[in-house]
Amino acid sequence: MKAVVSKQPGGPETLEMVELDSPKPGPKQVVLEIKAIGVNFPDSLIIVDRYQFKPDRPFSPGGEVAGVVKEVGSEVTSLKPGDRVIGSCGWGGMREEIAIEADRCLAIPDEMPFDEASAFILTYGTSYYGLKRRGDPKPGETLFILGAAGGVGVAAIELGKAMGLKVIAACSSQEKVDFCLSKGADVGLIYPMGDLDRDQQKELSNQIKEVSGGGVDIIYDAVGGAYAEPSLRALNWEGRYLVIGFPAGIPKIPLNLTLLKSCDIRGVFWGAWVRQFPGEYETDVQELFDFYKDSKIKPHVSKTFPLDQSGDAIQHLMDRKATGKVVVLTE
Ligand SMILES: NC(=O)c1ccc[n+]([C@@H]2O[C@H](COP(=O)([O-])OP(=O)(O)OC[C@H]3O[C@@H](n4cnc5c(N)ncnc54)[C@H](OP(=O)(O)O)[C@@H]3O)[C@@H](O)[C@H]2O)c1
């Protein structure tokens, strides 16, 4: 089977396609024949050793896959060959086959195609956990999303609307704003690219207050960097600031701002929560599949790449060219 691997730390151009033996399942594992691999921002970090997990090399990037069960381990009773599943592997997905723990697989609804399935659980799971369990949303409140046209951002738009929130989508271009409006955002806002100077930060803060009619109740920050503080300055009294990710860098925040607004800055670490609270995760997964069946959410796969161009797929994300999701297909 073919596998795209990282043999040394480096950018997407250092990934290599190699031929490997098919894996065998351990007792609690299944082997999946992979059809599609969702590309996520952590793929760009893990190959340069800047992610929280540092797998031994050679390894394949690719944290979530969709495919068909080929073989099951001796102790697996929950799955059988032929089942269509999503596999949350963390890494190791950019290849034709993978051995994965059975309890890290979810059966795919019949109506969900493989490309959408591979782009589903990490983004919607994160945004649902963030908004539902960390955001304390109340219908009618205003949700402000930084990086709204990206993977987790678009999921936050759709879920925010499903929760009855007024959604303000912020991103770096008119094209991305238009895309967010087409996905249900009520208002769009364009911010400049690059490190914002003091004046640009002030302007961003004022823009947010202006389009929201005074301030926002929940901030979903999937960008970080120089965008964080001006956004926090536009948060309402007792607002919630959700820390999701840092493609633009890890910001430092003056703590006095939280006192002045009696507001909360809340961390959101979906993967760790899933491992600690499997029962609650199962509830959320079922609710997300119900939203999908009711057409309230739908992964937007804007571009696909063949397996041998997996590096280009990751580069596409890093270049901020993607809207919604990028997916690698094995055939
Ligand atoms: N907390 C969790 O549990 C959790 C779970 C999943 C993902 N995450 C994190 O969430 C963040 C977003 O992930 P994603 O998969 O949605 O990524 P994505 O699809 O690439 O979206 C990220 C967005 O960030 C913006 N951005 C701003 N500065 C950027 C820069 N220097 N480089 C690249 N993008 C930049 C881009 O939008 P504009 O061009 O419009 O600015 C882009 O659309 C990542 O940091 C990821 O690690 C966290």
- The string of DSSP codes covering 73-129 is -TT--S--TT-EEEEE-SS--SBSEEEEEGGGEEEPPTT--HHHHHTTHHHHHHHHI
Q: How far is the CA of 105 from the centre of ligand 1 (A)?
A: 24
| Domains (range + CATH), the chain | 2-120+299-329 (3.90.180.10), 125-270 (3.40.50.720)
Residue nearest atom 22 in ligand 1 by C-alpha distance: 150
With a 6 Å cutoff on the Cβ, whether 327 touches ligand 1 is no
Provide the pLDDT for residue 278.
Answer: 95
Q: Which of 144, 320, 327 to mutate to test the pocket of ligand 1 (most atoms within 8 A of CB)?
A: 320
Q: Which residue's alpha carbon is at the smallest distance from atom 35 of ligand 1? A: 247
Give the atom of ligand 1 at the shortest distance from the alpha carbon of 324: 19
Q: Measured in angstroms, how far is the CA atom of residue 42 from the centroid of ligand 1?
A: 9
Answer whether 42 contacts ligand 1 (Cβ < 6 A).
Answer: yes
pLDDT in tens, the chain (331 residues): 999 999 999 999 999 999 999 999 999 999 999 999 999 999 999 999 999 899 999 999 999 999 999 999 999 999 999 999 999 999 999 999 999 999 999 999 999 999 999 999 999 999 999 999 999 999 999 999 999 999 999 999 999 999 999 999 999 999 999 999 999 999 999 999 988 999 999 999 999 999 999 999 999 999 999 999 999 999 999 999 999 999 999 999 999 999 999 999 999 999 999 999 999 999 999 999 999 999 999 999 999 999 999 999 999 999 999 999 999 999 9
Predicted pLDDT at 195: 87
Indicate if ligand 1 lies below 6 Å from the C-beta of 247: yes
The residue type found at 183 is K
Q: Which pTM does this prediction carry?
A: 0.96
Q: Do the Cβ atoms of 240 and 218 come closer than 8 Å?
A: yes
How many other C-beta atoms are found inside a 10 Å radius of the C-beta of residue 33?
A: 18
| Residue among 78, 104, 94 nearest 40 (CA) | 94
Nearest CA to ligand 1 atom 13: 41
58 preceded by a cis bond (ω within 30 of 0): yes
Best residue among 44, 88, 129, 152 to mutate for probing ligand 1, ranked by most atoms within 8 Å of CB: 152
- Give the pair of three-digit tokens for residue 301: 């796969």
Residue nearest ligand 1's atom 28 by CA: 248
Determine the distance separating the centroid of ligand 1 and the alpha carbon of 175, expressed in angstroms.
Answer: 17
The pLDDT value given to residue 194 = 83
